[in-house]
Amino acid sequence: MSPGGWAGVWGLVWALCLAHGGGVAAQSAPTPEYRLKAIFLFNFAQFVEWPASAFPEPDTPLVIGVLGEDPFGPYLDETVRGETVNDHPLAVRRYRRVEEIGACHILFVSRAEQGHLGEILDSLKDRSVLTVSDADGFARRGGMIRFVTERNRIRFRVNLEAVRAADLTISSKLLRPAQIVSTGED
**How many helices (H) and strands (E) would you count in the chain?**
7, 10
- Closest separation between CB of residue 24 and another protein, Å? 26
- Closest separation between CB of residue 87 and another protein, Å? 8
Q: Which is nearer to another protein, 28 or 84 (CB)?
A: 84
Q: Which is nearer to another protein, 28 or 179 (CB)?
A: 179
Q: Is 174 in the site for another protein (CB under 8 A)?
A: yes
User: Under a CB-based contact definition with an 8 Å cutoff, are residues 47 and 173 in contact?
Assistant: yes
Positive or negative, the CA dihedral 157, 161, 162, 165 is positive
Residues 86-105, mask of contacts with another protein (x by CB under 8 A): x-------------------
Q: Is 156 in the site for another protein (CB under 8 A)?
A: yes
DSSP state, residue 176: S
Q: Calculate the alpha carbon distances from 158 to 33, 77, 102, 147, 173 in Å.
A: 20, 25, 24, 9, 12
Q: Is 179 in the site for another protein (CB under 8 A)?
A: no
Q: Which is nearer to another protein, 84 or 182 (CB)?
A: 84
Smallest Cα–Cα separation from 114: which of 130, 137, 146, 85? 137
SS3 48: strand
Q: Is 170 in the site for another protein (CB under 8 A)?
A: no
Smallest Cα–Cα separation from 104: which of 85, 122, 115, 91? 91
Among 46, 169, 179, 182, which residue interacts with another protein (rule: CB under 8 A)?
A: 46
Q: Can you give the binding site for another protein, defined by CB under 8 A?
A: 1-2, 4-6, 8-9, 36, 40, 43, 46-47, 83-86, 153-156, 171, 173-174, 176-177
